[in-house]
Amino acid sequence: MSLSMVTLRKLHVVSPVPADIDIANSVEPLHISHIAKDLNLSPNHYDLYGKYKAKVLLSVLDELQGSKDGYYVVVGGITPTPLGEGKSTTTVGLCQALGAFLDKKVVTCLRQPSQGPTFGIKGGAAGGGYSQVIPMDEFNLHLTGDIHAITAANNLLAAAIDTRIFHESTQSDKALFNRLCPPNKEGKRSFSDVMFRRLIKLGISKTNPDELTPEEVNRFARLDIDPESITWRRVMDINDRFLRKITIGQGPEEKGMVRETGFDISVASEIMAVLALTTSLSDMRERLGKMVIGNSKRGDPVTADDLGLGGALTVLMKDAIHPTLMQTLEGTPVLVHAGPFANIAHGNSSIVADKIALKLVGPGGFVVTEAGFGADIGTEKFMNIKCRYSGLTPQCAIVVATIRALKMHGGGPAVVAGKPLDHAYLSENVELVEAGCVNMARHIANTKSYGVNVVVAINKFSTDTEAELNAVRDAALAAGAFDAVICTHHAHGGKGAVDLANAVQKACENVSQPLKFLYPLEHGIKEKIEAIAKSYGASGVEYSEQAEKQIEMYSKQGFSQLPICMAKTQYSFSDNATAKGAPSGFILPIRDVRASIGAGFIYPLVGTMSTMPGLPTRPCFYDIDLDTATGKVIGLS
């Protein structure tokens, strides 16, 4: 079933292309119930959040369990400039083409943007030009509060960690146990439900608190957290470099329990990764409870459930688990859900959103989801982490390329956000473009190795010439792409991506190989890291003393079977952001190795990756304001 003419809108495009926010404000969104109806969703399948947003309930998956899936497409890209190469715009433009021009049933699945980049350097992530999600301001700001829920849950756990250390340091075993299991009015004690999880972990089968021996009371009541081992940090969803390293516990009431810690940006929280990788409410409860915050002084992992918090975290996240339904400028449906960064997390929208969408579009329909940054990061993690946990198989992977980025990889001057582009990027230079195509060729080869058909989307800018565009197309086909298509969706909306949509349809219909992973899970942590490093072009991996220690500890704790999520710069295949093109023969340095046990991956830190971005001299917030006469947001990009 195709989309109805009630929801599809004809865009009136103008040239030059106006600012994103002006285009977004010029189109009156449809009531979200119309978008839902086109997907065969009835009012009991969703909860309204105002006129233009709705939470699609997970019960939809249960109802459609026997239905067949549509085609599954992931959008990645070449190694980007700091300005971004238009993956979100391409994702939206492709879906507008499929729905509004090819009459296909389609759902776009996107991540919720962090307010860090929105007010920092990059701006929002609703797409751009005539290929956007609307209302754009609601998409880029609070949406339905999911990131705020993650922030609250994360910081509740952080507070519980330091409070538990404090109370254990000031109380005897007996006093601690009496407060954890206080008698009721009848004088009887009982364990709360979450406490039974700790008792089972400790091998204690008793159900009556009064029956525990003094030794069992000690083991149960004392987590004995090693402050030096704590990996759990507080979060907030803005860029604030001055919170990267802080000291807590300086108040007189904390009795000298001072500790160094820091803040991460909210989307770097493991709870965000849990939300993105969970498959059901019960699965999310288990994952949240299994999150490891550090070790005991005996070297045992301490979890959120050990702290008694798994259930409370799930309560805070119970609404966030439902994807948010929105719409594109041309009336095609969008599911927005989860927003992990791709350089410091796994960089993909949620499994539940993709699963719901695939059932809603059905056979012959399309679900297009975006993977963050270049294909070496976002697409690699989509395949090796997200698809492992979802059990879903994509038929087509798109690699988005721009002349601008390829010129940079061919040896062009540095591209710096906030500064005018060098003349080299505004005038024809086919040789520079051809030299940079080595970057695209490696992304194509790496992506093709997963068994999917690769389509290159050449995102055309007004300064690109026909000779440059043809050079990219020729290089893409020579590198093994199924097809390479020039796109003008930024300037023309879905109409500018019709050729891309046709190519994607053919790629999906002609896939002939099963999904292949880069490494088997049973390999050791180092073997898996080295397999990914090899795909980057590295000749070897160098581990710091800290990284060696962490790998040994996680292996002993039984976590070596988890997939790997590399935390690496998005601006190069290597750890060196200035190494453009397709560097090879370098040694990849692993500075540290950490674990997101609840989310289900080990993440090595390559070089000096920061999990809390900073603000530039002139952040985006200088341009953002509110028209107090109309109530409309202005200046949002």
Q: For 481-580, where are the alpha helices, taking DSSP H only?
A: 489-492, 498-509, 525-536, 545-556
pLDDT at 469: 98
pLDDT per position as a tens digit, 429-479 = 999 999 999 999 999 999 999 999 999 999 999 999 999 999 999 999 999
Q: What is the mean pLDDT of residues 72-101?
A: 96
Q: What is the mean pLDDT of residues 156-169?
A: 97
Looking at the DSSP bridge assignments, the partners of residue 243 are none
pLDDT at residue 549 tops 60: yes
pLDDT-wise least confident of 403-407, 579-583, 627-631: 627-631
pLDDT at 6: 52
Residue 85 CA to residue 78 CA, distance in Å, equals 8
User: Which one, of 507, 371, 502, 483, lies nearest residue 98 by Cα?
Assistant: 502
pLDDT-above-70 percentage for the chain? 99
pTM for this prediction: 0.95
SS3 content of the chain, % helix, strand, coil (to 5): 40, 15, 45
pLDDT at residue 2 tops 70: no
pLDDT band at 9 (very low <50, low <70, confident <90, very high): confident
pLDDT per position as a tens digit, 341-358 = 888 789 999 999 999 999
Q: What is the mean pLDDT of residues 378-392?
A: 97
End-to-end CA separation in angstroms for the chain: 34
pLDDT at residue 292 tops 50: yes
- 526 Cβ contact partners less than 8 Å away, ≥ 6 residues apart: 541, 543, 551
Task: Write out the two tokens for 332.
Answer: 């095609």
Residue 448 CA to residue 399 CA, distance in Å, equals 11
pLDDT at 573: 97
pLDDT band at 635 (very low <50, low <70, confident <90, very high): confident
User: Which one, of 57, 45, 41, lies nearest residue 7 by Cα?
Assistant: 41
pLDDT at residue 531 tops 80: yes
pLDDT at residue 391 tops 60: yes
Task: Write out the two tokens for 87.
Answer: 């993956």
pLDDT at 344: 77
Average pLDDT, the chain: 95
pLDDT per position as a tens digit, 215-265 = 999 999 999 999 999 999 999 999 999 999 999 999 988 888 999 999 999
Backbone angles phi, psi at 454, to 5 degrees: -105, 125
Residue pair 404/370 in contact by the 8 Å Cβ criterion = no
Q: Which amino acid is at 187?
A: G
- 3-class secondary structure, 42: coil
Q: For 171-265, where are the alpha helices, taking DSSP H only?
A: 173-180, 193-202, 214-221
Task: Write out the two tokens for 105.
Answer: 């049933």
Residue pair 372/111 in contact by the 8 Å Cβ criterion = yes
Residue pair 131/497 in contact by the 8 Å Cβ criterion = yes
